[in-house]
Amino acid sequence: MKTKHTHKWRVYSTALCPPAISVGCACGADGWIGRRDFKQSDWARAFHAPSRSYPLRKGLVPYVHVSKR
């Protein structure tokens, strides 16, 4: 696993149970943002992420899953 790597998160999906915004980095790391952290506008935008991912805006820091790779 690389060290000194700053993840470049992209929003790629949403989850409903519980509500969360899913993010991923090109290195293979996955993360998510819980509903206490994101705003309604983030949620609305993330709904389109499955067909068109976009960089996570500054100010949102995801919880990081263990890398799948």
**How many beta carbons lie within 10 A of that of residue 65, not counting itself?**
13
Residue 65 gets which letter from DSSP? P
Comparing CB distances to Zn ion, the nearer of 7 and 10 is 7
7 binds Zn ion (CB under 5 A): yes
Question: Binding-site residue total for Zn ion (CB under 5 A)?
Answer: 4
36 contacts: CB under 8 Å, gap ≥ 6: none
Segment near Zn ion (CB under 5 A); pick from 7-15, 16-24, 36-44, 52-60: 7-15
Give me the residues that bind Zn ion (CB under 5 A), please: 7, 25, 27, 29
